[in-house]
Structure 1
Amino acid sequence: MSVAVEPFHLSIPEDQLSDLRRRLDATRWPDRETVTDTRQGPNLEKLRALIDYWRNDYDWRRCERMLNGLGQHRTVIDGLGLHFLHIRSPEPGALPLIMTHGWPGSVLEFHKVIGPLTDPAAYDGDPKDAFHLVIPTLPGFGFSDKPAEPGWGIPRIADAWATLMDRLGYDRWVAQGGDWGAAVTTAIGYKAPQGCVGIHLNFVMYQPTPDETAGATPAEQAMLDSMAYYQNVLSGYAQLQGTRPQTIGYALADSPIGQAAWIYAMLQDVSDSDGNAEKAFTYDEILDDIMLYWLPDAGASSARLYWEGQSSIANPPSAPIRTRAAISMFPKELVRLSRRWAETRFANLVHFNELDRGGHFAALEQPALFVDEIRTGFREMRA
């Protein structure tokens, strides 16, 4: 089996874009919500405005050029073709860093931080903080292959990422992630593959223990209340994708409006935007992300990661992670934990910080803060 790393050039056929325009023109809209907030989901008026921009002003070829300019590649690992960005720093002492997105994110979550992380000197930073970046697309997402059989869960992805770093010639590296990317990065931390010297998380999947719940400080109780709100009010998408991904997949594959609304709901609900997605993201940023699900027909295949990942959520390892770890908690991340709780789960916690702004999509929402956290978190892991 080939282990080649091949350059990947993206060029979507025009007939796919024409089909998208036809589907958008033929949209049958539902009636409007019966409330004035987002409790029932995305507001009809806001979604229609987004789709109007999609139909009349959005330029996919701009996004395509951006991706092609970032260093796209593909390689086959464990029988699956994987897409990734590989951006080498001009600094010879740069530390290799693999960064993993989640759902409904993509490699474009990181596009604002690529420059400052790879070439800090060009952004008024210290050249000693430079990174070589590897940014893979999760299996079943974007332009990675779709698994044809079950088994591509979090542990297998973590193993694939370690293989990828080895294949690229990196014998000493670090890993970062949020959302499902945090799950993969956490698994890398537990597995401690040869070469990995540390991890950074801006999201931690955890279940509070009865003792933690009973002994919560006021600040920790606010974290528990935030988690409960997410689980009880906002997590319907996760429950559906974790149990019946194929069911929602039919709608996502057939309707661009359905795919757009499914993603837009998360952008409004878990960002630092007070329920107003446009406060945190531009229309182009929203639609670029949606297109990386629509064009490769990845609605169902990406949803299956929830089905595959249920065991990782329900049965986290009981022993603390011994790999050096850094954690950044952004305030509008709904699932957060305190330093005290983090220290019981990460035996070698070298950095923990609570930020004053930013949400679930930290690299896209607050790129400057995110970059500073990455630099600070990994600084002592360079030696």
Structure 2
Amino acid sequence: MIPSLPGFGFSGPTRSRGWDTYRIATVWAELMRRLGYARYGAAGNDWGAHIAPEIGRAAPEAVVGVHVTQIFSDVDLAEFDRTSPEERSAVEEHEWFRRHMDAYGYLQTQQPQSLAHALTDSPVGLLGWHNLIYRGALDADFVLTNVMIHWLTGTVASSMRIYYENGRSRRPSEPTTVPLGLAQFRDDIHAIRRFAERDHANIVSWNVYDAGGHLAAHQEPDLLVGDLRTFFTGLKQ
């Protein structure tokens, strides 16, 4: 099952407040229960990588494991190991992204409705805004299809509000406990395992690939599918 996020695409626009990643995870866990799934795995990218571990937190007795392509953890600059090339590189990449690529994140976290009025009135403006984040080997059809789904479903404004809602959420203090697997791709946000393990107590798979980027399902589908299969197969042992 591949649900679309509330407020995104085919789920249609949300009309109430509070749709952060924790609420979405709880709702999806309830959806799976009502559909009759007693045991299942969760996988996600981008916002899905925030939500999938929370599904495991919401329904640990049902979720056999969680697979993600990013692990978003707060990095304590006072604690990271400056002698580690991997940690130093990851911190530098985070800082570069914050300074050069995260304008959309700041604006949508702080003032999503201001921008929403403009973009719901301009398909060209919406295309330009989406292209702030599309990097790497992405063909025109992929980009136009994603933008068109937002446009035709009327979810331009509601899809922005997840940033606002999550920016005001209180993150759970305890780590997740269900088995977690990471498939990290070359041109994507790089996690630091030491910090990731503070948020996730049961990381059982951590694979790094020298290809692909933030949209690995489109860019490197074979690598991603292989990692998913290996991860969930391993949980059966």
* TM-score, structure 2 as length reference: 0.93
Residue equivalent to 2:157: 300
Q: Are 1:221 and 2:81 matched, yes or no? A: no
Q: Are 1:317 and 2:172 matched, yes or no? A: yes
Q: Please give the residue correspondences for 1:260-339 in structure 2 after superposition, counting only pairs within 5 Å.
A: 260-268=127-135, 273=136, 280-312=137-169, 315-333=170-188, 335-339=189-193
Q: 1:299 is matched by which residue type in structure 2?
A: V
Q: Are 1:368 and 2:235 matched, yes or no? A: no
Q: Please give the residue correspondences for 1:161-176 in structure 2 after superposition, counting only pairs within 5 Å.
A: 161-176=28-43
Q: What is the alpha-carbon distance in structure 1 between the residues aligned to residue 72 and residue 194 of structure 2? A: 15
Could you say what secondary structure the match of 2:132 adopts? Answer: helix
Out of 204, 227, 230, the residue aligned to residue 350 of structure 1 is: 204
Could you say what secondary structure the match of 2:178 adopts? Answer: coil
Structure 1, residues 242-268: CA drift from partner, whole Å, max 9, x if none?
Answer: 111111111211111011111122112
Residue equivalent to 1:196: 63
Q: In 2, are the aligned partners of 1:260 and 1:290 still within 8 Å (CA)?
A: yes
Identity of aligned residues (%): 37
Q: 1:341 to 1:327 in 2, by over 3 A?
A: same
Larger Rg: 1
Q: In 1, are the aligned partners of 2:73 and 2:195 still within 8 Å (CA)?
A: no
Where do 4+ consecutive residues of structure 1 move more than 4 Å? none
Q: 1:302 is matched by which residue type in structure 2?
A: S
Q: 1:215 to 1:170 in 2, by over 3 A?
A: same
Residue equivalent to 1:381: 235
Q: In 2, are the aligned partners of 1:206 and 1:316 still within 8 Å (CA)?
A: no
Structure 1, residues 17-41: CA drift from partner, whole Å, max 9, x if none?
Answer: xxxxxxxxxxxxxxxxxxxxxxxxx
Q: In 2, are the aligned partners of 1:327 and 1:377 still within 8 Å (CA)?
A: no
Q: What is the alpha-carbon distance in structure 1 between the residues aligned to residue 168 and residue 227 of structure 2? A: 30
Q: Where does structure 1 lack aligned partners over 5 or more consecutive residues?
A: 1-133, 274-279
Out of 24, 28, 53, the residue aligned to residue 186 of structure 1 is: 53
Q: What is the alpha-carbon distance in structure 2 between the residues aligned to residue 189 and residue 210 of structure 1? A: 29
Q: 1:204 is matched by which residue type in structure 2?
A: I
Q: 1:371 is matched by which residue type in structure 2?
A: V
Q: What is the alpha-carbon distance in structure 2 between the residues aligned to residue 287 and residue 228 of structure 1? A: 29
Q: 2:218 is matched by which residue type in structure 1?
A: L
Q: 1:303 is matched by which residue type in structure 2?
A: M
Could you say what secondary structure the match of 1:356 adopts? Answer: strand
Q: 1:165 to 1:337 in 2, by over 3 A?
A: same
Q: In 2, are the aligned partners of 1:192 and 1:323 still within 8 Å (CA)?
A: no
Q: In 1, are the aligned partners of 2:18 and 2:165 still within 8 Å (CA)?
A: yes
Q: Which has the higher contact order (CA 8 A, sep 6+)?
A: 2
Q: Are 1:236 and 2:103 matched, yes or no? A: yes
Residue equivalent to 2:21: 154
Could you say what secondary structure the match of 2:186 adopts? Answer: coil
Cα distance, 1:330 vs structure 2: 0.9
Q: What is the alpha-carbon distance in structure 2 between the residues aligned to residue 342 and residue 152 of structure 1? A: 24
Q: What is the alpha-carbon distance in structure 2 between the residues aligned to residue 380 and residue 311 of structure 1? A: 37
Q: What is the alpha-carbon distance in structure 2 between the residues aligned to residue 316 and residue 215 of structure 1? A: 27
Q: In 2, are the aligned partners of 1:162 and 1:193 still within 8 Å (CA)?
A: no
Q: Where does structure 2 lack aligned partners over 5 or more consecutive residues?
A: none
Q: 1:216 to 1:344 in 2, by over 3 A?
A: farther
- Number of equivalenced pairs: 237
Cα distance, 1:167 vs structure 2: 2.2
Could you say what secondary structure the match of 1:317 adopts? Answer: coil
